[in-house]
Amino acid sequence: MTEPARLRAVVLGDPIAHSRSPKLHGFWLKHYGIAGSYEALHVPASSLAPTLTRLMAEGYAGCNLTVPHKEAALPLMDELDEAARAIGAVNTVLFRAGRMLGRNTDAHGFIENLRQSVPDLAPYLACAVILGAGGAARAGLHGLKAAGARDIWVVNRTRARADALAAAFGVKAADWSDLPALLPRATLLANATTLGMQGSPALVLPWEAIAPQTLVTDMVYAPLRTELLQRAEARGCMTVDGLGMLLHQAAPGFAAWFGVTPEVSPALRAAVLA
Ligand code: NAP
């Protein structure tokens, strides 16, 4: 009797040693008893296209992409989903019948992470403020719009980048100096800058302007309890850390490659943090 083909997936990046994806998918493979594998592959920018072609030829089910490949992969795909087109980046690739399908699951991860803590998200979508205008902010904006948020503000150090994002997504832009007036109205506040991340400068906000009814989330997850989350909790706010976004964005890829929709459980969180 021939053994069924072993399902294989991989994450490509440069650098890649820090990636938590192998641990994450490895946990699910073991948990669901799937005879598959998920590895990390160091791939410099110049090697992305030939590496994708080789992996598909070798029968891989697909891959994740991280820095610096997310934008560069767009023209290499045979098909893009709506999120990848809107966000302008691919983080999940499916190899299907000789075709490369590019998806972006970061917006899904952002919203599902919030929903896991707050199942009825609608009241918190009344007025959303996103800090930052990079890739993470684009994913957050796409997720918020898809979830039904209407009054959305992008606030960024470089105003021109906030304006460009506001125009692309049909939302509003504001300056950092507008935050004392804007934050009291916010029902959702999300940090999508690198500020507060290990090795980056601190995030400094007019903390007293954050209203206690605001749902506050940080896409930064190293450290897990960022100063933003600590300050928001001290104001009485409900908070959601950024690790859950990482875990939730991984689920659609796992489901597509390995055929099981995985659960984002406390045991998974503990395994990834270990
Ligand atoms: P990015 O494209 O490099 O964007 C960085 C953003 O941070 C820009 O808006 C930039 O503002 C702002 N920024 C950087 N240094 C600043 C400073 N000193 N003062 C004020 N603003 C500053 O990065 P990204 O890919 O969007 O990622 C942002 C964060 O989200 C990272 O910490 C990343 O790890 C996290 N993230 C988490 C997840 C998750 O699953 N939890 C997923 C994606 C990303 P300017 O435009 O003015 O430069």
Q: Given this model, what pLDDT does residue 4 score? A: 55
- Cα 173 to its chain centre, rounded Å, is 21
Q: Given this model, what pLDDT does residue 172 score? A: 98
The pick from 91, 106, 156, 194 for probing ligand 1's pocket by mutation, whose C-beta has the most ligand atoms within 8 angstroms, reads: 194
In this model, does residue 2 exceed pLDDT 80? Answer: no
Q: Is 249 in the pocket of ligand 1 (CB under 6 A)?
A: yes
The pick from 104, 176, 193 for probing ligand 1's pocket by mutation, whose C-beta has the most ligand atoms within 8 angstroms, reads: 193
In this model, does residue 254 exceed pLDDT 70? Answer: yes
Tell me, in angstroms, the distance from the centre of ligand 1 to residue 89's CA. 15
Query: Six-digit token pair at 209?
Result: 């302007």
Tell me, in angstroms, the distance from the centre of ligand 1 to residue 209's CA. 22
Helical residues (DSSP H) of the chain, grouped into ranges: 21-31, 48-57, 82-87, 106-117, 135-147, 159-169, 179-182, 227-234, 243-258, 266-273
Q: Given this model, what pLDDT does residue 261 score? A: 98
Neighbours of 145 (CB within 10 A): 18
Mean pLDDT for 40-57 is 98
- Cα 39 to its chain centre, rounded Å, is 19
Strand ordering across the sheet containing 238-240? 172-174, 151-155, 127-131, 188-191, 215-218, 238-240
Tell me, in angstroms, the distance from the centre of ligand 1 to residue 267's CA. 28
* Residues identified as active-site: 70
Over residues 105-163, the pLDDT tens digits come to 999 999 999 999 999 999 999 999 999 999 999 999 999 999 999 899 999 999 999 99
Which ligand 1 atom minimizes the distance to the CA of 109? 40
Q: Given this model, what pLDDT does residue 6 score? A: 80
Q: What percent of the chain has pLDDT over 70?
A: 98
Residue minimizing CA distance to atom 17 of ligand 1: 195
Q: Is 241 in the pocket of ligand 1 (CB under 6 A)?
A: no
Q: Residue 177's pLDDT band (boundaries 50, 70, 90)?
A: very high
In this model, does residue 3 exceed pLDDT 90? Answer: no
Question: By C-alpha distance, which of 11, 81, 19, 6 is closest to 48?
Answer: 11
Average pLDDT, the chain: 96
Rg (CA), the chain: 19
Q: Given this model, what pLDDT does residue 233 score? A: 98
Residue minimizing CA distance to atom 20 of ligand 1: 157
Tell me, in angstroms, the distance from the centre of ligand 1 to residue 245's CA. 15
Over residues 193-218, the pLDDT tens digits come to 999 999 999 999 999 999 999 999 99
Q: Which residues pair with 215 in a beta bridge?
A: 188, 238
